[in-house]
């Protein structure tokens, strides 16, 4: 079996149903499987996809990275396609994944584009329209919500760092850490916008203010911790990106204050505080 679709979920059963529906519509005709690691409390029944094999793995609540690791250990596919539970696959997602892995057989990881639902605009400004190698200077384009990883290479680097990511001690950047771990071992990583996963376009103006700030603070903590983790091996690289990780949101904070946009300014302030906290507090 070539592909296992890896889905971590926690208390979002209706949303997972939309993802399952998109799996049912895939045009890929070769064997594949869907592996769901469910940390929901209490558990509810998930309707299995009609296409491919299916593994349901209930587990205790330990964070997104732990759920993905649990699914990866139990998966049967040579390649793992990671997808968030609130995303949906396009009809040709696995067919494109198959074509990309055939065209780049030596690559350990292929990062795709997260496109916002209802349009072609990418979720992240780092996701460009051109296929290119991922390097230490170009790693922010890789998000676990749209990523293919060769299973043997993921196991070789020790899977995801379970201290990083949503629901963990440091609330993000487990995907960046995985890519950097692969690059440190001279593994090849590619970004390709041909692989697309659809992500909801969340209107930040409608989110509760505290929730919005806590989210960006948590992501900031993860970013700071990830940079501190890689400091011993690549100090100049870590210093460069640590500086950028503070200067960019500081510039955004000033700009939003001048535009009299306190809500957007709070986002940048939360990110700055989180990145400082994560960098200072990180312990292996």
pLDDT digits (tens, 9 = 90+) for 196-242: 998 876 655 566 777 888 989 999 999 999 999 999 999 999 999 99
What residue spans define the domains of the chain? Answer: 3-199, 204-281
Give how far the C-alpha of residue 153 lies from the chain's centroid of Cα atoms, to the nearest Å.
17
Residues whose CB falls within 8 Å of the CB of residue 180, separated by 6 or more in sequence, listed in order: 136, 139, 226, 230
- The CA distance from 153 to 68, in Å, is 15
Q: Determine the CATH number of domain 3-199.
A: 3.90.550.10
Give the burial class of 120: count Cβ atoms within 10 A of its Cβ; 0-12 exposed, 13-18 middle, 19 or more buried: exposed
Mean pLDDT taken over the chain: 92
Q: Is the pTM of this model over 0.85?
A: yes
**What pLDDT, on the 0 to 100 scale, is given for residue 207?**
67
Q: CA dist 61 to 21, 91, 175, 227, Å?
A: 25, 31, 19, 26
**What pLDDT, on the 0 to 100 scale, is given for residue 204?**
52
pLDDT digits (tens, 9 = 90+) for 70-97: 999 999 999 999 999 999 999 999 999 9
- The CA distance from 196 to 193, in Å, is 7
- The CA distance from 169 to 204, in Å, is 24
- Residue 243 predicted with pLDDT over 60: yes
């Amino acid at each position: 079996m070539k592909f296992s679709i890896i889905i971590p979920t926690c208390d979002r059963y209706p949303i997972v149903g939309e993802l399952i529906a998109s799996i049912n519509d895939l045009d890929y005709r070769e064997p594949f499987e869907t592996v769901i690691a469910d940390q929901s409390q209490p558990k509810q029944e998930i309707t299995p996809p009609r296409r491919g094999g299916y593994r349901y793995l209930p587990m205790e609540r330990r964070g997104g990275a732990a759920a993905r690791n649990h699914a990866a250990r139990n998966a049967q596919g040579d390649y793992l396609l990671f997808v968030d539970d609130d995303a949906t696959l396009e009809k040709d997602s696995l067919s494109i994944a198959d074509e990309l892995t055939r065209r780049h057989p030596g690559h350990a990881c292929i990062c795709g584009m997260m496109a916002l639902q209802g349009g072609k605009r990418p979720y992240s400004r780092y996701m460009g329209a051109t296929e290119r190698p991922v390097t230490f200077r170009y790693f922010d384009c890789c998000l676990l919500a749209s990523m293919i990883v060769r299973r043997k290479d993921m196991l070789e680097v020790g899977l995801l760092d379970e201290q990083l990511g949503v629901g963990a001690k440091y609330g993000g950047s487990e995907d960046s850490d995985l890519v950097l771990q692969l690059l440190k071992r001279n593994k090849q990583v590619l970004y390709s916008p041909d692989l697309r996963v659809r992500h909801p376009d969340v209107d930040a103006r409608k989110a509760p203010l505290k929730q919005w700030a806590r989210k960006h603070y948590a992501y900031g903590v993860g970013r700071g911790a990830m940079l501190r983790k890689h400091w011993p091996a690549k100090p100049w690289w870590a210093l460069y990106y640590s500086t950028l990780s503070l200067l960019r949101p500081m510039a955004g904070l000033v700009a939003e204050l001048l535009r009299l946009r306190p809500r957007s300014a709070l986002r940048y302030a939360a990110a700055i505080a989180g990145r400082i906290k994560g960098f200072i507090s990180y312990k292996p």
